[in-house]
Amino acid sequence: MPSEMDQFVAEVTTFLDAHATRRARAAEDVAWGEGEDRITYFSTDPPEVENAKVAAAKAWQRTRYDNGFGWLTGPTAFGGRGLTTLHDLVYDGLEAAYEVPETGVLSLIGLGMIGPTILAHGTDELRQRYLPRLYSGEIIACQLFSEPAAGSDLAGLETKAVREGDGWVLNGQKVWTSVAHHAAIGLALCRTDPDKPKHRGITAFIVDMTAPGVDIRPLRQMSGGSEFNEVFLTDVHVSDDHRLGPVDGGWGVALTTLMNERASVGGEGAGPVGRAVALPFLTELLRANGRLDDGAARRRLAELHADTLATEYLNHQMIRKFRAGEQPGPEASVSKLMYAQNLTRGAHFAAEIIGPRLIADTGAWGTYSWTELLLSTPALRILGGTEEIMKNILAERVLGLPKEPGIDTRSPFRELRRSVGSTGSGRSGE
């Protein structure tokens, strides 16, 4: 490793030692039967607990930012450090050894996806206005993309933006909007010209989530919590200086966001969830249930461990490519598919070992607590692009297989069929 990186490691360590406590035990050590046994992927906290966690996340991000670690890869002109993705990875690796607040509420959407999109497509004024506030933890951003009728087919979105004087008026409904209830701004994709083909009549805007006409309603997830929302936009005024990219050029903006989304979902192997389905913890689970000599259980454990480690090796390979200055190939998409699969298998393997004590809370440590993860894993095959869409992308972009012949990318949007009842023409005039 070059000495520049050694210096960086020393700098991070000094910062973390000064502002955080080192974990009592190594992250991967198992404390069987002790402490917290919840394995939470999606939050199921009551609002006051959730709000306290959001406040702690913002405070920790502020501390990172004030010490130069808030946005390692960002340009210095907008509050970043001008470093590389490798520095990000190194920082994350070092921070994992410390007790620090979980900052996913800021980072997964706002810092991981919206920030890079503003950086790539925003005017200097927009970048100056929002990027330092985002990366210093002052505000949270959300992604106003999906709609009830535009899920996998995102370009079929119908929320309208109509010019009015110096600005735009937005009307429509967005859905599956994570962290909208904590967000100060949202990145919205809107239909600006229904007479153009669907990918070419979309424009992107930064929306003030506290503006009149923005109505945020929580959606309760099957896992019990409410991390995402539906967002209704009714005559919401957005000034033209909050447009991101050219008029009708929003699809290119969206692609930047989606590319960053795929990069941010795959590599989440560590953390409490990852540890719960890793070999040391599952081995203790077998031991505690007297199944360590059970051939069938051992076989499933080994199969899971092999795939989990191989996925980890795939992530290592991606990091080595970054380090060598190479562009990684399809590793991130493959890693995302494998992560969903491995986590799901791990949860069901644990359930099989635990047996009936998983279906009702007997109070026994580490049994009923697995229900949270079991109820969360179905989402992993949907969020950030469904498994089916990911496979289309791998097959078409990596392997070069032909696109679906039925997909119409040429006809005007208003002529496309958008529901079982509709025939296309005229519907957008409703």
Partner 1 sequence: MSTEDTTSTELDELRSAVRDFMAAKADERAVRAAIDSERGYDDKVWAQMAEQLGLQSLALPTEHGGDGYGLVELTVVLEEMGRALLPSPFLSSVVLAGTALVAAGGDEAGRILPGIAAGTTTATLAPPSVDGGWSLGGRGAGDAIAVTASAGTDDVTLDGTAPLVLDGAGADVLLVVAGGPAGPGLYAVDAGAGAAGLTRTPLPVLDLTRRIAKVTFAATPARLVGAAGGAAAILDRVLDVATTALAAEQVGGARACLVASTTYAKDRVQFGRQIGSFQAVKHKAADMLTRVQVADAAAREAARAVDGVADAPDPGVAAAVAHAVCSEAFLAVATENIQVHGGIGFTWEHAAHLYYRRAKASQLLFGGPAVYYERLLAKAGV
Other CB atoms within 10 A of residue 331 CB: 18
Residue 344, CB half-sphere, CA atoms under 13 Å: how many?
A: 12
99 is catalytic: no
CA dist 198 → 157, 184, 188 (Å)? 8, 29, 16
Task: Determine which one of 50, 158, 230, 261 is catalytic.
Answer: 261
Q: Cα torsion for 74, 78, 80, 84, to the nearest 10°?
A: 20
Residues with Cβ within 8 Å of 306's Cβ and at least 6 positions away in sequence, in order, are none
Question: Alpha-carbon distance 83 to 4, whole Å?
Answer: 11
Q: Phi then psi for 152, rounded to 5 degrees?
A: -60, -35
The pair of three-digit structure tokens given for residue 345, joined into one six-digit string: 């298998």
Q: What share of the chain is helix, strand, coil (3-state, %, to 5)?
A: 50, 15, 35
Positive or negative: CA dihedral 131, 132, 135, 140: negative
- For residue 186, which of 109, 127, 260 has the smallest C-alpha distance? 109
Amino acid at 418: R
What span, in angstroms and rounded, lies between the C-alpha atoms of 72 and 93? 14
Dihedral class, residue 63 (left if φ above 0, else alpha if ψ from -120 to 50, else beta): alpha
Measured in degrees and rounded to the nearest 5, phi and psi for residue 237 equal -90, 130
Instruction: Give yes or no for a contact between 302 and 324, defined as CB atoms under 8 angstroms apart.
Output: no
Q: Residue holding tokens 């429509």?
A: 172
**Total residue length of the chain:** 430
Concatenated DSSP letters of 176-214: EEETGGG-SEEEEEEES-TTSBGGGSEEEEEEETTSTTE
Q: What six digits make up the tokens of 371?
A: 């229900």
Which residue type sits at 416?
Answer: L
**Residue found by looking up tokens 């008029």 in the block:** 247
Task: Please compute, for residue 65, the number of CA atoms within 13 A of its CA located in the half-sphere on the CB side.
Answer: 23
User: Residue 126 or residue 334: which is nearer to partner 1 going by CB?
Assistant: 334
C-alpha span between 48 and 69 (Å, rounded): 28
Contacts for 404 with CB less than 8 Å, ≥ 6 apart: 392
**94 versus 184: smaller Cβ distance to partner 1:** 94
Q: Which residues lie near partner 1 (CB under 8 A)?
A: 279, 283, 292, 298-299, 301-303, 305-307, 309-311, 313-314, 316-317, 324, 326, 329-331, 334, 337-338, 388, 390-392, 394-396, 398-405
User: Which residues have a catalytic role annotated?
Assistant: 261
